[in-house]
Amino acid sequence: MRPLRCLAVLLVLVLLPAAAWTLAPPRFPGPQPRARQGTNGVGAYEYETRYFRQRLDHFSFPGVGDEDEPAAFFQQRYLVGRGGGWAGPGGPIFFYCGNEGDITWFAANSGLVWEAAPRFAALVVFAEHRYYGESMPFGSKAKAYNNSKSLAYLTAEQAIADFAVLLTDLKRNLSAEGSPVVLFGGSYGGMLAAWMRLKYPHVAVGALASSAPILQFEDIVPSTIFYDLVSDDFKRESLSCFHTIKDSWKVLDEQGNGQDGLMKLSKTFHLCQTLKTSGDLSDWLSSAYSYLAMVDYPIPSEFLMPLPANPIKEVCRNIDSQPEGTSILERIYAGVNVYYNYTGTVGCFDLNDDPHGMGGWDWQACTEMVMPMSYSENRSMYPPYKFDYASYADSCIKSYGVRPRPRWITTEFGGHNITTVLEKFGSNIIFFNGLLDPWSGGGVLKNISESVIAIVAPLGAHHIDLRPVTPEDPDWLVSLRESELKIISGWLSDYYGARGALFQPVAVKGSSAS
């Protein structure tokens, strides 16, 4: 078993060796095409790019003189909105907790933050996560990713501390110490937003944690839940499509083991290089299915890849509609081509493509982000497999020379008895989950208290609430976003009321004031 690499986008899944299935935690979704960045922003959102001299290790105290070493600090990139609608010192700050990727891409795909900011006269800040994008310790990615010693500072705890230090310094420089901060984040960023609210309640008044699987650790939820939900999404669209995929793995493996089998597979799937193992192809296919489940949006999107509305429906239509006599693997290729080549512009596929340098998640999965993943025997469209921690740990030792700490995240941030814990110690967190999203299986799906709220969308996919508004948005999505903003408005009203100040949301075109 090996931790997974980014094949076409971030959140990659399984490797299929000849003998047995082995699983690593999927990565969270990240960009395939880079955001179209301009000098003043990305897409319709304008911002100024800034850098902050960030401490490499927040949890130790170097000796005198050691802080003068260049490696003791790094430049953290962050984006500050240039819309000019901020109320000024004392006005709200909307702060996005960066994920495992280039922050400009998250800025381009988190329209809710930008579009809601004028309503609250809020300043928008997107902070990049250490070891991703341009925020590289030790001066370069090559040095930062060199070995376990240089990667040791790539942790969720350090990242959250970065955000807290950056926010504190930014507010001081803006004479905005009294400004309330609302945290936003999707997927891993949503986990960080929720955890930051719990760890640094004095830094932020609340957090919107979208599609944040904070329960996907140890045995809190079934280890099969992620892939069961992926499978359910395909079965929902077409039972024959589901069975075609379920039957394809054996055929793929058998052909890969046959004479010239790897060459034939490479030709069938239009690969740029001849396969070394059938497992590499299985990994690539499985990645596509899981990404499709996550972005099964009711509207066209380019979040991971350019895709049509309801992309799983399109994939299954391609699989099911092939002429009689079409082989099972040719049907599979016709389906997966919707995901990897919907525009029809790709000549061949490179299974080793990692254009965005997100391999840092492999390290995180081998240290503290240990999410057990299994395949169930009946519900899943994958062959049965039970998570084997010993094999998982051996792979991490082989890859990085480190042994995972599977119980550390729940020790540091909690997870067990989540209802009791958050009811007693948490406040002002919105957990959004779309039930088509396989990560919802590790999410908070029920209200915990009056201020720790679960918003669930039966037809929603991966952090669809954060996506930019479009004219095609269904009514349920419009209403859902409005509910989130009303809750955030309540947090800010409570904050300003407690300080003896008046908070009044600003009505903007296309949005009613809360």
What contacts 514, CB < 8 A, 6 or more positions away? 119, 485, 486, 489, 490, 505
Pairing of strands 37-38, 429-434: unpaired
Burial class (CB in 10 A: 0-12, 13-18, 19+), 65: exposed
Task: Spell out the residues 6+ positions from residue 20 whose beta carbon is closer than 8 angstroms to its own.
Answer: 385
**Angle between helix 475-498 and helix 111-120 axes, rounded to 10 deg:** 50
Residue 190 burial (C-beta neighbours within 10 Å; 0-12, 13-18, 19+): buried
Distances (CA, A) of 496 to 25, 93, 501: 42, 13, 5
Q: Among this protein's residues, is 231 annotated catalytic?
A: no
Among 110, 135, 179, 187, the one annotated catalytic: 187
User: Any catalytic annotation for residue 462?
Assistant: yes
- In degrees and rounded to multiples of 5, residue 60 shows phi and psi of -145, 170
| Active-site hit among 462, 463, 465, 489 | 462
Angle at 382 between CA 212 and CA 275, to 5 degrees: 100
Q: Tokens representing 58? A: 């927040």
Q: Which of 475, 446, 481, 479 is nearest to 463 (CA)?
A: 481
DSSP 405-425: -TTHHHHHH-BTBHHHHHHHH
Nearest to 437 by CA among 155, 190, 210, 120: 210
**Residues with Cβ < 8 Å from 398, sequence gap 6 or more?**
2
For residues 76 and 2, give the distance between their C-alpha atoms in angstroms, rounded to a whole number: 30
**How far is it, in rounded angstroms, from Cα 217 to Cα 118?**
37
Q: What's the order of all strands across the beta sheet hosting 206-210? A: 37-38, 41-42, 45-55, 73-81, 123-127, 93-97, 181-186, 206-210, 429-434, 452-457
| CA–CA dist 257, 397 (Å, integer) | 29
Nearest to 103 by CA among 359, 430, 356, 365: 356
**270 catalytically annotated:** no
Asked if 137 and 150 touch (Cβ cutoff 8 Å), the reply is: yes
Catalytic position from the list 437, 451, 489, 511: 437
Give the residue numbers annotated as catalytic, written as ranges: 187, 437, 462
